[in-house]
């Protein structure tokens, strides 16, 4: 398996623009997680899905953030409109059981 | 609520020296414990995990960790550090399946001097 795949790896955008981050989990995994990592706040869990259903989105910072998982092999995290404080590395992880497998992350820079 | 404390933000060691990274957790039941490593520009990779049984757990890359219930600790150790071990290390605690959502510590940055 190729592992968790994220795209793009880097995204630079201007404030106010819509940003969409994509994730393909490992086949057969039933949990999918979105994290945000910054120097100030460390690794934050934004939202997670179980069998494509959002279970807990209490970590989503604002209504500007939304996440979907239309099927077992694809998830998106959207920020609309983006702001400079959204600049961070966003990780997707998937699991079946207790071990999470992380993707390489998307480094987002909002100017 | 579960929580993890990694008291050391940075640790500096010389190549070849031994290493111990500290992790203290808070969890109401028997915890599932993890150590992850993050190399620069990479995602997190699992080093080792403890679920039950032997309290000394062996992981990849020569790392081990010991679960001490009485101290609520799960410290990571390596007898001889290599320059390639320089990375960020994260401890995490979670419950069993059905309540497994791990909580991560803030991480410890390991710097290795030649």
Mean pLDDT of B1-16: 94
Note if the bond before B19 is cis, omega within 30 degrees: no
d(CA B35, CA B61): 12
Angle at B106 between CA A88 and CA B8, to 5 degrees: 135
pLDDT at B16 over 80: yes
CB contact under 8 Å between B43 and A103, yes or no, is yes
Distance (Å, whole) CA A76 – CA B24: 34
What would the pLDDT profile of B73-82 be if each residue is shown by its tens digit? Answer: 999 999 999 9
pLDDT tens digits, B33-79: 999 999 988 899 999 999 888 899 999 999 999 999 999 999 999 99
Contacts A40 to B, Cβ<8 Å:
none
Task: Return the residue of A nearest to B98 by Cα.
Answer: A97
Q: In the structure encoding, which two tokens stand for residue B9, read together?
A: 């933000």
Contacts of A99 in chain B (CB under 8 A): 34, 46, 49
Question: Which of A6, A43, A50, A90 is the best substitution to test chain B (most B C-beta atoms within 10 A)?
Answer: A43
Question: pLDDT by residue (tens digit) across A63-111?
Answer: 999 999 999 999 999 999 999 999 999 999 999 877 889 999 999 999 9
Which of B43, B49, B97 has its CB closest to that of A91? B43
Which regions of B1-114 does DSSP assign to beta strands (E)?
Answer: 3-5, 10-14, 19-21, 24-26, 32-38, 44-50, 56-58, 64-68, 73-78, 87-94, 103-104, 108-113
């Amino acid at each position: 398996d190729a592992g968790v795949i994220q795209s793009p790896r880097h995204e630079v955008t201007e404030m106010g623009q819509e940003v969409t981050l994509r994730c393909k989990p490992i086949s057969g995994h039933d949990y999918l997680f979105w994290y945000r990592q910054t120097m100030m706040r460390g690794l934050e869990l934004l939202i997670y899905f179980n069998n494509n259903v959002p279970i807990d989105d209490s970590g989503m910072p604002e209504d500007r953030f939304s996440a979907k998982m239309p099927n077992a092999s694809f998830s998106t995290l959207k920020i609309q409109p983006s702001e400079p404080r959204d600049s961070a590395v966003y990780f997707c992880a998937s699991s079946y059981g207790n071990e999470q497998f992380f993707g390489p992350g998307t480094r987002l820079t909002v100017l | 609520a579960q929580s993890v404390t990694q008291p050391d933000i940075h640790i500096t060691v010389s190549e070849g020296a031994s290493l111990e990274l500290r992790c203290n957790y808070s969890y109401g039941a028997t915890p599932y414990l993890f150590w992850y490593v993050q190399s620069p520009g990479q995602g997190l990779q699992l080093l080792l995990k403890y679920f039950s049984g032997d309290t000394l757990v062996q992981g990849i890359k020569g790392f081990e960790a010991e679960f001490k219930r009485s101290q609520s600790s799960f410290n990571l150790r390596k007898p001889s550090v290599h320059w390639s071990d320089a990375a960020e290390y994260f401890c995490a605690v979670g419950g069993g399946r059905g309540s497994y959502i791990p909580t991560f510590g803030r991480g410890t940055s390991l710097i290795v001097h030649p």
